Each structure stands twice: as structure tokens, then as C-alpha cells.
A = this chain, B = another copy of it.
Amino acid sequence: MSTAKVLPLLEPGGVAPCCPPLTERPLTAEEAERSAVMFKALGDPVRLRLFSLVASYEGGEACVCDISDVGVSQPTVSHHLKKLKEAGLLSSERRGTWVFYRVEPAVLAAMGQLLTRAGAA
């Protein structure tokens, strides 16, 4: 089955953001637990590059073969993509021989919201 278990950082199927901006009020322990998963996933240079490669690819998705040149071995690339997927930041789909990854736009928006000052821009 291609639908691996992932941590839903947004309500499943919905776009409800997990948490208010970090500046609005203190995060609860549980909110912090959920949000930290996303930040942690982007907290590795290789993963951040992989994520950026997928996010900036034409059509919003990229085959693994298109983004594998980040200086680590193929198993390591696969491992990092899995981590990003488990964090809810990417989703994947197999098409023939290739596997395509795409960004979950709602999660990206939720993260951006966390870092946006409540009142200001």
C-alpha cells in the first residue's frame, strides 16, 4: 500500500492550522510537540535542500531521480524523503518506475503562519 502512516499535522483532510503564531500566545505542550515535528524535519541541511528542490520544481512535484544530487548516497536520500513524508511536509506517488514527491501546500502555509507576527506583516 502506498498510503504509509504519517503524522497529521493538520486535521486530516482539512486545512485547519495547528497553532497560532508563536508570538500570539505560548504554545501548549501538545501544540509544541506537533509543530516541532515540522521544524525538526527541516532542521537538517540535506532534508532542507531536498524539500526546496521539490518545492521549487516545475509543476510542484519532482521525481526522486531529479533531486538525488545532494551529495549523499541514494539510501540516504530515500531515508530523508521518508522523514519529510512522515512529518507531513511531502507526499509521494509512484508512476511507473519513478516515484514523485510533492509539497503539501497546506502544511507549508501552516508553518508560515506560525512564524508570522500576529499583527504586523
Contacts and interface: CB of A to CB of B under 8 A. Distances in A.
- Interface size range on A against B: 35 or more
B44 A29 contact: no
A95 interface: no
A43 B39 contact: yes
Contact of A26 (B22, B32, B49): B49
A70 to B, nearest CB: 8
Interface string A100-114: 000101001101100
Interface string A79-106: 0000000000000000000000001010
A68 interface: no
A71 B39 CA distance: 21
